[in-house]
Structure 1
Amino acid sequence: MSGSTLSDLVGVGPLLLDFDGPVCSIFAGYPAPRVAAELVALLDVKGVAMPEEVRGEGDPLAVLRWVGETCPHDLTAAVEEALCAAELHAAGTAEPTPFGREVILGAHARGLPVAVVSNNSATAIEAYLTTHDLTACVASVIGRAYADPRRMKPDPGPVLDAVRALGAATERCTLVGDSLSDIEAARAANVAVVGYANRPWKTEAFASADVVVTSMWEIAEVFSPACAHQSDDEVE
């Protein structure tokens, strides 16, 4: 979709949102490195030998991914349970992303279905949406496959699950994500992708996205009444 503008992508069809980044910072009050360290401690208790890079890992999803690749399923399930509990706790102190709420409300007001598709657990996502009165505006939540980290993005499976849940065609959908794995998953699923560059280095790193934004405000603006009226005029 080279040459597409932001309004070409997010103002016309179903909107898929990654959770941690575009919607909120889930680990703002319960830091990700702390959660990762707790997962490592659990593995220590179970006598699992780990390389130093895993012991020093600050991303709990990376710890889960390593366990899924190297350990028996029962250990993967134990780490999954611990991570789900930590994410649910973290959802209570998550920090909303500026204008992330406005994007969801704006798309809903425009009649566009919204799905959240994430490598975080669906339980934590649903808890956050309930706390922030957004449940009614989100048609579907696709979270991490239970104890099967191989199916996390960049695998396209979660994105395709979200598309199917909305009853949409892939070419009508757009994913907004803040990681390279989001972009890779969208590409593999044949879904357009907006890169949310919430760190300066991401602007260049997300060059393969259809469009790059540095604030969710840019997307929320597409759903403003003035922009909606302009789009209607263009269609006429």
Structure 2
Amino acid sequence: MSGLTLSDLVGVGPLLLDFDGPVCSIFAGYPATRVAGELVELLEVKGVAMPPDVRVEVDPLAVLRWVGETCSHDLTRTVEEALCAAELQAARLAVPTPFGREVILGAHARGVPVAVVSNNSATAIEAYLTAHDLAVYVTLIVGRAYADPRRMKPNPGPVLDAVRALGVAPGRCALVGDSLSDIQAAHAAGAAAIGYANRAEKIDAFTAADVVVTSMAEIADALSWVSPLSPLSPEAG
């Protein structure tokens, strides 16, 4: 870790949030294992030969990534469409992450822009945020590039897309994520990385993060000390 603190990162510039983890558990009611199995079944119907590890894959994003690396673009689009539909259904059953809402509202109250930067589809993210009355507090959504899984994190592309749209330098942003791919994407883009260790084993795994938190409450608390008249606030100067 870099020796930085949350106070060094939160409120300095826009806050970028991964979706599945920091904001909610998208597959809590429609399990990722089920979605991955449905994608594998779709590939079987299409007559696609798959290695054993893909047949038993429990992560639907990993299935999509394999298809994008191995199969035709038309088939990638077919799997993409199926995954988007499943994610939209999952978003309706998603369980909010404790204090994820408070982070978004706290940042907005203090003039800190919030962007959701995710490997999930933008449609599912928007549906969740709308259903939970959070959409108005989120400045930007950068979801998975359509049928182009090579651009998923750890590719820095989504993070760079976000900072460009926000009109700030990457070094002013911090990405909160619960996976190594989030940390890698943030650093590759030149942004800071806050590792959200929502499981104990992730604490030691996130040594590359600038800061590690075990609860989104820590970020919400750090935001409470940010002046509402920061340079990022519309009321300032």
Counterpart CA distance in 2 for 1:179 and 1:10 is 19
The TM-score, its normalising length taken from structure 2, stands at 0.94
Report % sequence identity: 78
What is the SS of the residue equivalent to 2:82?
Answer: helix
Aligned to 1:86: 86
Where does structure 1 lack aligned partners over 5 or more consecutive residues?
none
Deviation at 1:223, TM superposition (A): 1.8
Aligned to 2:18: 18
Match status 1:59 vs 2:59: yes
Aligned to 1:40: 40
Query: What does 1:60-75 correspond to in 2, within 5 Å?
Result: 60-75=60-75
Counterpart CA distance in 2 for 1:212 and 1:4 is 10
What is the SS of the residue equivalent to 1:115?
Answer: strand
Counterpart CA distance in 2 for 1:130 and 1:208 is 33
Counterpart CA distance in 2 for 1:210 and 1:11 is 15
Counterpart CA distance in 2 for 1:99 and 1:165 is 26
Counterpart CA distance in 2 for 1:165 and 1:26 is 25
Where does structure 2 lack aligned partners over 5 or more consecutive residues?
231-237
Report the AA paired with residue 217 of structure 2.
W
Deviation at 1:166, TM superposition (A): 0.9
Deviation at 1:129, TM superposition (A): 0.4
Counterpart CA distance in 2 for 1:139 and 1:167 is 12
Deviation at 1:2, TM superposition (A): 2.2
Match status 1:138 vs 2:138: yes
Report the AA paired with residue 84 of structure 1.
C
The TM-score, its normalising length taken from structure 1, stands at 0.95
Counterpart CA distance in 1 for 2:223 and 2:119 is 26
Counterpart CA distance in 2 for 1:144 and 1:223 is 28
Report the AA paired with residue 228 of structure 1.
V
Report the AA paired with residue 137 of structure 1.
Y
Report the AA paired with residue 22 of structure 1.
P
Aligned to 1:148: 148
Task: After superposition, give the CA deviation of every residue in 1:3-37 in whole Å (9 maximum; x if it has no partner).
Answer: 21101101221000000000000000000000000
What is the SS of the residue equivalent to 1:92?
Answer: helix
Aligned to 2:226: 228
- Comparing 3-12 and 39-48, the one that deviates more: 3-12
Aligned to 1:118: 118
CA RMSD of aligned residues (A): 1.3
Counterpart CA distance in 2 for 1:167 and 1:151 is 21
What is the SS of the residue equivalent to 2:115?
Answer: strand
Aligned to 1:210: 210
What is the SS of the residue equivalent to 1:212?
Answer: strand
Q: Count residues with an aligned counterpart.
A: 229
Match status 1:160 vs 2:126: no
Deviation at 1:228, TM superposition (A): 3.2
What is the SS of the residue equivalent to 2:2?
Answer: coil
Aligned to 2:104: 104
Whether the 8 Å CA contact 2:2–2:209 is kept in 1: the answer is no
Deviation at 1:102, TM superposition (A): 0.3
Counterpart CA distance in 2 for 1:212 and 1:16 is 15
What is the SS of the residue equivalent to 2:93?
Answer: coil
Aligned to 2:193: 193
Counterpart CA distance in 1 for 2:194 and 2:173 is 11
Deviation at 1:59, TM superposition (A): 0.2
Aligned to 2:174: 174
What is the SS of the residue equivalent to 2:9?
Answer: helix
Counterpart CA distance in 2 for 1:46 and 1:5 is 50
What is the SS of the residue equivalent to 2:176?
Answer: strand
